[in-house]
Amino acid sequence: MVFGIFIDVPLLTIPFLLMIKFRGRLTSEISKLRLPLIALYVLLAIPLLIFEEQIDCMPAWCGTVVIPPTIPFLMLEMLVLGGLVFVLHAKNPLRVTLVFSIYGVLFELFLGGLVGAPILIAAILAPYVGMGYAFVSMLPLSVLMRGKDRASISASSVQPAAGIR
């Protein structure tokens, strides 16, 4: 935590709670943009990733760079997540977000920032880490799934042309 627990936790938690409360409206407004779905997904994920990483990444580089070097790896994770949503035909963004958050906690425990942390510290930080992964994925997934649903509905609602008899 870069700024300390009393600044970092509210700085991420309050926007996350607002995002949950206004997710439907935000998704509706963002979905109105006329961009390819994957571009909209990526353009929405990038600022969320940068914001979250500026709060939670290691103090060694957060104060020295605008865009942390972890962003390309996290963006790759987000692209894989978006691809899985398409391949698996996921319908519920909250379930996918929950699974992604669990994956994030496990990733951090075994390969990331929580490696070697005492069990008590890991147990205290695990919900916050999960919320960080949910923060960066929930809104982009909601937009992606809504756009995917709209595309499939509009494609299936096209009536075949009637032939001349």
- Whether 164 maps to a domain, the answer reads no
Residue type for 158, please? V
Residue with tokens 């600022």: 47
Confidence (pLDDT) at 135: 97
- Residue 153: what pLDDT? 66
At 20 the pLDDT is 95
Q: Is 163 inside any structural domain?
A: no
52 neighbors 9 (Cβ within 8 angstroms): no
pLDDT at 72: 92
Q: What was the pLDDT predicted at 138?
A: 97
Tokens of residue 165, six digits: 């008899």
| pLDDT in the model for residue 26 | 95
| Separation CA 165–CA 162 (nearest Å) | 9
pLDDT for position 65? 79
In a domain, 129, yes or no: yes
| Residues 29, 129: Cα–Cα separation, whole Å | 28
Tell whether 42 is covered by a domain.
Answer: yes
The pTM score is 0.86
Q: Determine, yes or no, domain membership for 159.
A: no
Q: Is residue 157 part of a domain?
A: no
- Domain of 134? 5-152
Name the domain count of the chain.
Answer: 1
* Selection from 102, 109, 93 nearest residue 144 by Cα: 93
DSSP codes of every residue in 91-135? --HHHHHHHHHHHHHHHHHHTSTTTT--HHHHHHHHHHHHHHHHH
Whether 11 maps to a domain, the answer reads: yes
Evaluate whether residue 138 is within a structural domain.
yes
Q: Angle between the 119-156 and 5-21 helix axes, to the nearest 10 degrees? A: 20
pLDDT in tens, the chain (165 residues): 556 778 888 999 999 999 999 999 999 999 999 999 999 999 999 999 999 988 887 666 666 778 888 899 999 999 999 999 999 999 999 999 999 999 999 999 999 888 999 999 999 999 999 999 999 999 999 999 998 877 766 666 555 555 555
